[in-house]
A and B are shown apart, each in its own frame.
Chain A
Amino acid sequence: MSEVKEENIQVATPEPIIQLENVSVSYRLPSERIGTFKEYAIRKLQRKIKINKFWALTDISLQVNRGEVFGLIGNNGAGKSTMLKVISKVLKPTKGRVVVYGKIAPLLELGAGFHPELSGRENVFLNGALLGYSRSEMEAVFDEIVEFSELEQFINSPVRTYSSGMFARLGFAVATAHMPEILILDEILSVGDEAFQRKCNLRMKNFQQAGATVLMVSHALDMLEGMCNRIAWIDHGKTQKIGEPHEVIAAYRGENL
C-alpha cells in the first residue's frame, strides 16, 4: 500500500520545522475538587491539598521536517492530543522545549465555536476570527469556502438547521481555506461521507505538494499509512517508535492485537 521510499522524502536536507526537546507535560489532578475559598484556606493551612501529578507526556524528543506529513498514533489517552496542544501553543510544556519554525493553523474540532443561531455566513467569519484571520483574509476566501463546503443554498440559514455533515464540511472548509505552513489535524478526516473525505484528502495532498507540513492524529491507520511520510507511535506519554509508516503501524498493531 505504501510506496513511499526513503529517497522521495529526503531529496533535500531535512529542515526542521517543529522540534520537541525532552518535552514533558503534567496535569494536576487534585485528589478532590476544592471549590470554595474557605475550604482552600483551611486545607492550605492544614497542608492537606494533595495534588496528584499526572504526566501526559514524558521526555518526548522528535523533529518534524518541513514539507512532511507526520502522523501520530496511539491508544486513547496516550498523549497524542496533548502533544498537538504543546506544539500549537495551547499548553506550555512543564519541562523541555518546543520550537516551531512556521505559522500553525490548528484545525478546531469541526464546528467548535460555531453559534447555532448565526447563519453559515456569519459563522464563517466568526470561526475564521477564532483561527486568527482578519476580515480581509476571510473575505478573500469566502466564496471558495462556500463552494468547497457545497452549501450555496444554505449559507444564509442558521447553522442549527444544518445536518452534522454540513456542519463538518463548513468547519473543514473554513479551517483549510488558507494554506498554512503547518496544518494540525486531530482526528478530523474521519468525518463526512466518502465523497467529502476524498475531497479533504485531495486538499491535503495539494497542501503537501505546495510545501505545507501536516501533522495528523488519527485512528484510521490505513489512511495514515497511505498519507504520511513518517509516523510516531505514542504510548503512555512516551514515544515507542518513530519511522516508516508501515513499520510503525505494524509494530503498533502487533502490540495491540
Chain B
Amino acid sequence: MASTSKPVYDSASYRVSAISELKELGKYRYLLGQLIRRDILTRYKRSVLGVAWTMLNPLGTMLILTFVFSNFFKSEVPHYPVYILSGLLVWNFFSQGSNAAISGLVWGGSLLKRIYIPSSVFGVSAIGTALVNLVLSLVPLVIVMLVDGAPFYSSMLFLPVSILLLTAFTLGFGLFISSLAVFFPDVAEMYQVLLTAWMYLTPIIYPESLISAKWMPFYKINPMYWMVKMFRLPIFEGRIPSWQEFLPAFAWAVGMLLVGWIYFTSKTEEYAYRV
C-alpha cells in the first residue's frame, strides 16, 4: 500500500520559513512579472494620456508645492523645484509602494483562500510596480532640472545605490504593515494618517536648514530622513554621501527588509484563514 515515491506535499513536514518563501517566490517569478505588468498597464488603461500620468502626477504636485511655498523657502533653497521634486519622488515611492503592498495582499487574499500562491508575491510585486514608476518619474526630474538650469553632477551616478536602499526599506516596511493590516483591518486607515504626519516630519518640502538643532536628534531617528538624503545629496548637493550618512540608511534598509520578511513569512500560514 505504501507509496515508495516521495510526496510532493506533506503537511506534517510543511512549514513556511523565510528561506522557503524565498524559494517559492523564485518559482513564481513569472507571476511576479505578470502582476507588475498588470498593475502598470491597468492603472491608466482608460485614460487618454495613459502611462504618461506616472510622470505628470509628481510634476503637477511639484508645481503646486513650488507655487505655494517658493516665497517661503526660495531664499534658502536655490533650485527649489528640483529640491522638492527630488524629495517627492522618494516619498511617493515609499507611500505608494507600502499602500500597494497592503491593498495587494487584501486583493490577493481572495485568491490565497482558493489556490496556493506564495503570499509574498503580492507585496513584492507592489514594490516592483512602484520601482518602475520611480524610474519613469526620473524623466520629469531631468526635465525640471534642465528647465530650471540646475547643474547635473557626476555624483548622480550614485543613484542606483540610493534606489536599492530605498527599495529594500520600502519592501520590508510594506510587508510588515500589510501583514499587520490582515490581522487588524483598521491599520490600513490609521496608516493613511500616519503617512501624512510622517511626510511633514521628513524634510521634503522644507529645507533641512530650517530644523532647529534642538530637534535634529529626533529627525535622525526617522529612516525616511536618511532615505531622502541618499537622493538629495547626489542630485542636489553634488556629492556622494559620506559614511556617516550612508551607514544609517544602509542599516535601516537591511534591517527593515529582514524584519519585514521574517515577520511576514512567520504569519504566512495564517493568511488563508484571515484575509
| Complex interface: chain A residues within 8 A of B46 (CB) | 117
Give residues of chain B (31-62) contacting chain A, Cβ–Cβ below 8 Å. Answer: 31, 33-35, 38, 41-42, 45-46
Contact, CB under 8 Å: A97 / B9: no
Contact, CB under 8 Å: A98 / B11: yes
Contact, CB under 8 Å: B9 / A99: yes
CA distance A89 to B203 in the complex (A): 47
Contact, CB under 8 Å: B111 / A112: yes
A13-40 vs B: 1/0 string, CB under 8 Å? 1011100000000011000001111001
Contact, CB under 8 Å: A92 / B115: no
By beta carbon, the residue of chain B nearest A103 is B8
By beta carbon, the residue of chain B nearest A92 is B269
Contact, CB under 8 Å: B42 / A113: no
Contact, CB under 8 Å: B11 / A99: yes
Decide if B220 is an interface residue (CB 8 Å cutoff): no
Decide if B273 is an interface residue (CB 8 Å cutoff): yes
- Given A16-B1, A103-B8, is A118 in contact with B38 using a C-beta cutoff of 8 Å? yes
| Complex interface: chain A residues within 8 A of B34 (CB) | 125-126, 129-130
Contact, CB under 8 Å: A27 / B273: yes
Contact, CB under 8 Å: B115 / A130: yes
Give residues of chain A (45-66) contacting chain B, Cβ–Cβ below 8 Å. Answer: none
Contact, CB under 8 Å: A106 / B186: no
The main secondary structure of chain A at its interface with chain B is loop
Decide if A122 is an interface residue (CB 8 Å cutoff): yes
Among A131-139, A207-215, A227-235, the stretch in contact with B: A131-139
Decide if B242 is an interface residue (CB 8 Å cutoff): no
CA distance A13 to B3 in the complex (A): 11
- Please pick, from A13, A92, A117, A133, the residue contacting B30 in the complex, using a CB distance under 8 A: A133
Decide if B72 is an interface residue (CB 8 Å cutoff): no
Decide if A100 is an interface residue (CB 8 Å cutoff): yes
Contact, CB under 8 Å: B269 / A35: no
Contact, CB under 8 Å: A115 / B42: yes
Decide if A120 is an interface residue (CB 8 Å cutoff): no
CA distance A15 to B7 in the complex (A): 13
Give residues of chain B (1-21) contacting chain A, Cβ–Cβ below 8 Å. Answer: 1, 3, 5-12, 14
| Complex interface: chain A residues within 8 A of B187 (CB) | 37
Q: How many residues of A contact B (CB 8 A)?
A: 46
| Complex interface: chain B residues within 8 A of A85 (CB) | 113-114, 272
Contact, CB under 8 Å: A90 / B112: yes
Decide if B192 is an interface residue (CB 8 Å cutoff): no
Contact, CB under 8 Å: A100 / B7: yes
Contact, CB under 8 Å: A126 / B38: yes
Give residues of chain A (159-180) contacting chain B, Cβ–Cβ below 8 Å. Answer: none
Shortest Cβ gap from A40 to chain B (Å)? 7
CA distance A100 to B42 in the complex (A): 38
| Complex interface: chain B residues within 8 A of A100 (CB) | 7-10
CA distance A96 to B6 in the complex (A): 19
By beta carbon, the residue of chain B nearest A127 is B34
Decide if B27 is an interface residue (CB 8 Å cutoff): yes
Decide if B117 is an interface residue (CB 8 Å cutoff): yes
Contact, CB under 8 Å: A97 / B12: yes
Decide if A197 is an interface residue (CB 8 Å cutoff): no
Contact, CB under 8 Å: A129 / B113: no
Contact, CB under 8 Å: A35 / B9: no
- Given A36-B186, A117-B46, is A135 in contact with B8 using a C-beta cutoff of 8 Å? no
- Given A117-B45, A129-B31, is A97 in contact with B115 using a C-beta cutoff of 8 Å? no
Decide if B243 is an interface residue (CB 8 Å cutoff): no
Give residues of chain A (209-257) contacting chain B, Cβ–Cβ below 8 Å. Answer: none
Decide if A77 is an interface residue (CB 8 Å cutoff): no
A98-125 vs B: 1/0 string, CB under 8 Å? 1111111010110011010110001001
| Complex interface: chain B residues within 8 A of A42 (CB) | none
| Complex interface: chain A residues within 8 A of B42 (CB) | 115, 117-118
Contact, CB under 8 Å: A99 / B10: yes
| Complex interface: chain B residues within 8 A of A97 (CB) | 10-12
Contact, CB under 8 Å: A28 / B114: no
A69-105 vs B: 1/0 string, CB under 8 Å? 0000000000000000110111111001111111110
By Cβ-Cβ distance, the 3 closest A-B pairs, closest first, are: A129-B31, A129-B34, A98-B11
